Amino acid sequence: MATNQDYYINDYSDTENWKEIQRQIGILGVTESTRQLVETIEQVAPTDISVLISGESGTGKELVAKAVHLRSRRHDQPYITVNCGAIPEGILESELFGHEKGSFTGAASQRKGYFELANNGSIFLDEIGELPTSIQVKLLRVLEQREFMRVGGTTTHKVDVRFIAATNKNLEKEVRNGNFRQDLYYRLNAMHIPVPPLRERREDIVVLAKKFASDFCKQNHIEFDGFTDSAIRMMERYQWPGNIRELRNLVEKVIVLEKGAQIDQQRLQKYLDTFDQHERNMPVPVNKEKSELDQELLLRALLEIKSEIAQLRELLVASSPPRYSLGPWREELPNEYKYAYENRNEPKTESVTDMEKELIKSALVKSNGNKRKAAKSLGMSERTLYRKLKKYDLKDE
């Protein structure tokens, strides 16, 4: 096997090393949460400690699992993926541990299971929370004793594998509800890697969108004129309940259905029907003071005006070169993952900005600085309020 030095780079201060690591494991992004995720993978991978990866559906848990294997000492050994939720319970034990000839109807010959196939390598148990309790007991034995028996067999087989598991469930809650064994949970959870949802790493959206578009266009020989500023902003404001998987599907869909044309806000709107539901279409509570209702309605109107101004600005500059064009499909993605807001030089909407800033100041004064109350009175989430406070440099208000 290779030594640590052959595959393990941990100098995160070196920008080139950082980009090389990202390219090797396929996890791209510029946010701090992405950097922390990659650093955690780099620190955990060289060991044989069991890893539990958690996160919402579509966040890239399988990619993280593969990265742990590729950056480990076992990177040149088998890597076996098992979707625990996709295999019927009746044959799951046989699939995992194998079976002997004649052990059940249809067992015409001896068969190795996933654990034997993964020997000396890594086994990735996706959707581990779907395992029935009867199988959980047997899995615990493999984790603790590194041995198992085939279905219908009497001989114990030793196995040397690295355990990597993933779930979109809250396993602690599943343990409390009696659906998951506590001892198995602690054995699997030797090292926990949480994968953040896309809505918590919005600055990565433009990087990922350009990467997906570039790959898709090359594979399908499509010319694509890229995304406009407002389309990127729309994607950054969207909540992405399906996370990275949804973003990738969206990018590929709009490229095909819009025939490679430049994607602006109007084109993109057709494919994001639930866009900004939390801020634009949320019903106004009726149990508020008239002044509060007026303030909330005014803020929403301002946000709509800002959106319309952005669309008008696009029409005025439609003849200028697209800022986010990928160019021909043959063009490689740049090595530098530049964040899209460089060199924007777009017109300012000072009056709208000032009005929104004043509304936020007023809400903070009325709530005596309580940001939760202020956000509620403004009809926005507390996270959105904090983002606007930072944007307008109102931290000390």
pLDDT digits (tens, 9 = 90+) for 303-355: 556 555 555 554 454 444 444 444 544 444 444 444 433 444 444 444 567 77
Question: Higher-confidence residue: 357 or 10?
Answer: 357
What percent of the chain is modeled with pLDDT above 70?
74
What do you get for the CA distance between the two ends of the chain, in Å?
58
Residue 18 pLDDT grade (very low, low, confident, very high; cuts 50, 70, 90): low
Question: Which residue type occupies 313?
Answer: R
Residue 32 pLDDT more than 80? yes
Bridge partners (DSSP) of residue 126 are 83
Q: In the chain, which ranges are continuous DSSP H helix?
A: 4-7, 15-25, 32-44, 61-70, 89-97, 114-117, 133-145, 171-176, 182-188, 205-220, 229-237, 243-257, 265-269, 290-316, 350-366, 371-378, 382-391
252-290 residue pLDDT tens: 999 999 988 999 999 998 888 644 444 444 444 444 454
pLDDT of amino acid 228:
93
187-211 residue pLDDT tens: 999 999 999 999 999 999 999 999 9
Return the HEC string of 314-348.
HHHCCCCCCCECCCCCCCCCCCCCCCCCCCCCCCC
Write down all domains in the chain, each with its CATH number in brackets. 4-196 (3.40.50.300), 200-344 (1.10.8.60), 348-397 (1.10.10)
Q: Could you tell me which of 323, 394, 312 has the C-alpha nearest to residue 353? A: 394
Question: Which residue type occupies 293?
Answer: L
pLDDT of amino acid 83:
94
What SS3 class is residue 83?
strand
pLDDT of amino acid 55:
95
